Amino acid sequence: MLSMWPNAVLSVALATFPTLMQQAPPVVPPAQIILIRHAEKPSDPKNPHLSKAGVMRARQLVSFITTDPAMTRFGLPVAVFATKTTKGGNGQRTQETVAPLARALGLPVLTPFLNKDYAAVAKLILGDPDYAGKNVLVCWNHEEIPQLAAALGVTPKPPKWKGNVYDVVYVISYHGGKASLATFRYGPK
């Protein structure tokens, strides 16, 4: 059957066959992912916005992310993610928390997913070649942060995030295909 093919066509087919059989190269993850929760909420549970203390913390986040050596060791964030807002207003605080930082960096706040879709945002971030070897920041709701960290490769999954803690920062970095987690704090305790 092969003898019916012209030699030139057969040579090209045989030369490209190994290339076709190779798998696509693995996607390189971001160098680090900075994971925070939204800043302080008001005492009124119906108010979906930040409290005055939360607005202040959001402003402090700018300086922390742009000047702290642990946050900038791979450069400034190239993307800023927050949760998508629901009809009830959930997600508004995550966006308000990172809005000053995004403005300072000249970036949009990316909100493609709801809080419960932490696996989807992890897949997007880890699979996007534009983030390979770079710094990405994600602001999420505290209830889902441990699951989001696990979806980003952290093992074991971090413990439940306490509801009254607003100053913790998780930094997930990747070395040799493995994720490691470090914890930092910023702003007033």
Decide if 138 contacts 121 (C-beta within 8 A). Answer: yes
3-state secondary structure 42-72: CCCCCCCCCCHHHHHHHHHHHHHHHHCHHHH
pLDDT digits (tens, 9 = 90+) for 103-141: 999 999 999 999 999 999 999 999 999 999 999 999 999
pLDDT digits (tens, 9 = 90+) for 21-45: 456 556 789 999 999 999 999 999 8
Q: What is the DSSP letter of 33?
A: E
**What's the pLDDT score for residue 6?**
56
**pTM for the complete prediction?**
0.85
pLDDT band at residue 89 using 50, 70 and 90 as cut-offs: confident
pLDDT at 12 over 50: no
The mean-pLDDT minimum among 23-27, 46-50, 58-62, 159-163 falls in: 23-27
Indicate whether 33 belongs to any domain: yes
Please, what sign has the CA dihedral across residues 182, 67, 185, 151? negative
Indicate whether 9 belongs to any domain: no
* Count of domains for the chain: 1
Q: What is the DSSP letter of 73?
A: B
Find the domain containing 170 and state its range: 27-185
Indicate whether 129 belongs to any domain: yes
Please, what sign has the CA dihedral across residues 104, 124, 139, 33? negative
Indicate whether 39 belongs to any domain: yes
Indicate whether 11 belongs to any domain: no
Indicate whether 2 belongs to any domain: no
Indicate whether 92 belongs to any domain: yes
Helix or strand run (H / E) with residue 34: strand 32-37
CATH number, domain with residue 39: 3.40.50.1240
Indicate whether 84 belongs to any domain: yes
Residues recorded for the chain: 189
